[in-house]
Amino acid sequence: MSETEQTLVTLEPASPADACVIWLHGLGASGHDFEPIVPYLELPADSAVRFLFPHAPMQPVTVNGGMVMPAWYDILEMDIGRKIDVSGMVDSSRRIIELIESQVVAGIPAERILLIGFSQGGAVAYHTALSYSGRVAGVAGLSTYLGTLDLLEPATEKADLPIWIAHGVGDPVVPLALGKQALADLQSLGYAPTWQEYMMAHEVCLEEIQALGKWIVACLQA
């Protein structure tokens, strides 16, 4: 078992898994953060989806006074531009690619693997799905932003990659404008994301999670 596989929460389906969701938590949280939400996705009873919830490494975070906490990368400034440690972002993305490839080795094709990320985890999910040499089933960004536009290539053969974006209209942590900027940036690369707004702050809500469950099912039936 790799180091990556040791640092995550795994939920196995009742029958042998034929698909996988890799779900990345936000700053200061852990892989357990979204584990209880899985039943609220309301996936069909016969779904054979494995859920993997990796834990981010512990590291100092500049905008939090250098406090050590679970973080996928350092955040240097909290202004609307979101100055981040890009090398840290890329390192975390490589770790998630390792996790994808471990699932491929275990018998689940990349085309049956979905990436979901909340806040900081969503930025990593975006970068991973869009820079990965293979093709995943789709990527969902929850209350997040796109932090690595300059590192991404135009969509070309991945232009039809399913991308689902959800954001709270009253989000004080990742402002709605950042989510909309991600939407515009993804469109500029040639993607066609689906955009959803919810009456919430920096969080998730039941309506959003149920819609996310329907998106998961659609991606895996495509």
Give 55's DSSP letter.
P
Among residues 112, 96, 103, 97, the alpha carbon closest in space to that of 25 is found at 96
Give 107's DSSP letter.
T
Strand spans (E) along 13-137? 19-24, 49-54, 58-61, 67-70, 113-118
Q: Please, are residues 145 and 48 in contact by the beta-carbon 8 Å criterion?
A: no
119 catalytic residue (yes or no): yes
Among residues 160, 104, 98, 153, the alpha carbon closest in space to that of 130 is found at 153
- Whose structure tokens read 């993804």? 186
79 catalytic residue (yes or no): no
171 catalytic residue (yes or no): yes
- Whose structure tokens read 């040639």? 190
Q: Transcribe 161-210 into DSSP letters.
A: --EEEEEETT-SSS-HHHHHHHHHHHHHTT---EEEEES-SSS--HHHHH
Amino acid code (one letter) for 42: E
* β-pairing verdict for 49-54 and 8-11: antiparallel
Catalytic residue among 119, 127, 143, 167: 119
Catalytic residues: 119, 171, 202
